[in-house]
Structure 1
Amino acid sequence: MQTHWLPPEFAAAPFGVADARASGMPLWRLRNGVLHSPTRSVRSVDAPRTPVQRAAAFWVALPDDAVFSHVTAGQLWKLSLPNDLEGQRDLDVMRATSRAHVRRSECIGHRGLELRATTTAAGLRVTGLADTWVDLGEVLDRGITLDDLVVMGDEVATRLCGRPEPGNAHQGLSDLGREQLRATLARRVRPRGKSILVEALGLVRAPVRSPMETRARLMFHRAGFPEPQVNRPVFHRDGSWLLEGDLVWESERVVGEYQGRDHASIRRRSYDASRNALAADEAWRVLEIYAEDVYRPARRVDCLTRFARALHLDPARLVIR
């Protein structure tokens, strides 16, 4: 595309038509189809493809007092949204209650910004992490489930309390993150989705390192298992650090480890095998969990039964299905 005539400041990022005209650019340059028009009164050299690129393009034309919220804020924060929402095109935009809704094609206007904290994510103004999580509970009609809210709540609580380095995790961090979410929800006046947000908050734990750790934990919760500690350090008998377990049942000395893609390499498998052997020497049992164990009914039954036996639980007294 021949755009060598564009000044550098306009070639590098989306720009407003009014700004281009004020710089002396002729109108025909802006109308000849060489440039993309992501939204009314905005031009760009390249068509925006990702949610962040689309938000950056629309930002040029939005009022100065607007911020991105709800699903768009979740995208900018890189939360683990449901697959159908990761690429949502319509942008959620919020202003204060005293201001008019943003009315622009492919934008969903919201009001109530005065009740929310604001900050920046991906270089754009957004609602704060905790407020974004509460707002996601207001758009359940877009396909967000209870489990999705718990997954994102775990992520938010972990970020709010600070992600610990391996070996330094401690359970008190969970309370710090949850309290911030609870305080944010309490500041809202009759928010939509409050009941499911309260239920999700009761299941939020921190720190977590992946969405599937959360989904695995919820699988055990629904089956009636005792609650494990999450990302807890396990120590040798002499007090030195041994490993950090995704799900730890300390009194039974059982660890559940979710095996994601980052565990697939030969080098990582070798490390895991060595770690498991060292744990066994210390009378700890490490059991692996895979995505199929969570999502496929037959595999789920086998996984839950295996853990029940390791934890000396009667499978007949659990909800294994």
Structure 2
Amino acid sequence: MPARARVPRRLAFLPFRGSRAVAEGLITWSMLRGPAWRRLLPDVYVHRDGFRAADHRMWCDAVALLLPPGAAIAGASAAYLWGADLLGRDAPVSVLLPRTARMRVPPRVRVTRSAVAAGDVTRFGGLPVTTGLRTAFDLGRQAPRTDAVVAVDALLHRRVVRLPGLAAYADEHHGWPGLPLLRQVLAVAEPLCESPMETRLRLLLLDAGLGPVTAQHDVLDARGRFVGRVDLAWPALRVAVEYDGDHHRERAHFRQDVARLNALRAAGWLVLRFTADDVLRHPARTVALVAGALRERQTQHNPSH
């Protein structure tokens, strides 16, 4: 059996420019056309072992090799690098280009042209990436509104950006497209929301007129002891709403949830639990259930009404 060809260390894992690697004598064009290498983009290659572990970060590495000066990874791709995963499957890499920059846009790349100040771009893991402020500013101006709120909430929760700083940044960019939408987003943004679906559930209830609602509320018993933290709450009425993701179906997590739910009920709380299906496919039913629970508790607190 023939020995496996030695892979240059610099080319073993990360994407690279083929022309540069050939010019430096690390590899030949005939080798790049062989089965050990994968062409990702024009003149951008990766070893097949790196390709097997391909994720959005790898595609950001690949696209960054083609970016002209002043351009940066941006939008949902920048949010991903900052730790807020808002991407769907096989999502393109989002790139911000200065209006005067030229670039042949390859597949898997989504380009936005805009003014890009030097202070709007930083380095993250060796890549040019929009700062947390610019990332939140851009995503918060992109319709639909729910997606914009989800993005800003996620970046706030990761502490990539803070609300006062984002509001001040928006004030400094008067007249930019999408600012009216960003103002709406800032009015309802919540740094305590822990997941995109939790944000979607919270926004669904707010838009139905069921606010104000408290995020990540600590429930205490009559003796002041901690019982549990609920996703969304109306503390005065002791009503809580929880979003249950797939991890709640794991056996250990399920057992913990049962014990926690019993403790919350013992403390006098009414807890409603919803899944992604409830939020995305049956929003009217979800709103009706929560509204009914709130009316029930209001009646108990004010029997004369």
Q: Look up the equivalent residue of 1:151 and give its one-letter code.
A: V
TM-score computed with the length of structure 2 as normaliser: 0.81
Structure 1 counterpart of 2:63: 58
Residues 217-256 of structure 1 correspond to what in structure 2 (within 5 A)? 217-256=202-241
Structure 2 counterpart of 1:306: 292
Write the distance in 2 (CA, Å) between the matches of 1:11 and 1:281. Answer: 58
Which range moved further: 233-242 or 223-232? 233-242
Write the distance in 2 (CA, Å) between the matches of 1:313 and 1:120. Answer: 56
Answer whether contact 1:96 1:112 (CA < 8 A) is retained.
Answer: yes
TM-score computed with the length of structure 1 as normaliser: 0.78
Structure 1 counterpart of 2:169: 184
Say yes or no: does 1:273 pair with 2:258: yes
Which range moved further: 23-32 or 180-189? 23-32
Answer whether contact 1:158 1:208 (CA < 8 A) is retained.
Answer: yes
Structure 1 counterpart of 2:91: 88
Residues 110-129 of structure 1 correspond to what in structure 2 (within 5 A)? 110-114=113-117, 116-121=119-124, 124-129=127-132
Offset, 1:210: 1.5
Q: Look up the equivalent residue of 1:4 and give its one-letter code.
A: A
Structure 2 counterpart of 1:103: 104
Alpha-carbon deviations, 1:75-97, whole Å to 9, x = none?
434535364xx5333x3333556
Would you identify which runs of 4 or more consecutive aligned residues in structure 1 move more than 6 Å? none
Write the distance in 2 (CA, Å) between the matches of 1:224 and 1:250. Answer: 17
Write the distance in 2 (CA, Å) between the matches of 1:118 and 1:285. Answer: 47
Residue 242 of structure 1 aligns to a residue whose secondary structure is strand
Write the distance in 1 (CA, Å) between the matches of 2:168 and 2:66. Answer: 33
Sequence identity percentage: 25
- How many residues align? The count is 292
Answer whether contact 2:140 2:185 (CA < 8 A) is retained.
Answer: no
- Residue in structure 2 matching 1:43, options 42, 45, 50: 45
Residues 190-229 of structure 1 correspond to what in structure 2 (within 5 A)? 190-229=175-214
Write the distance in 2 (CA, Å) between the matches of 1:289 and 1:81. Answer: 21
Answer whether contact 2:74 2:96 (CA < 8 A) is retained.
Answer: yes
Offset, 1:74: 3.3
Structure 2 counterpart of 1:172: none
Write the distance in 1 (CA, Å) between the matches of 2:142 and 2:4. Answer: 41
Gaps of 5+ in 1: 162-175, 315-321
Write the distance in 2 (CA, Å) between the matches of 1:72 and 1:260. Answer: 23
Alpha-carbon deviations, 1:40-70, whole Å to 9, x = none?
2322223485332222122223345432112
Residues 66-77 of structure 1 correspond to what in structure 2 (within 5 A)? 66-77=71-82
Residue 162 of structure 2 aligns to a residue whose secondary structure is helix
Answer whether contact 2:140 2:149 (CA < 8 A) is retained.
Answer: no
Say yes or no: does 1:292 pair with 2:269: no
Write the distance in 1 (CA, Å) between the matches of 2:165 and 2:184. Answer: 16
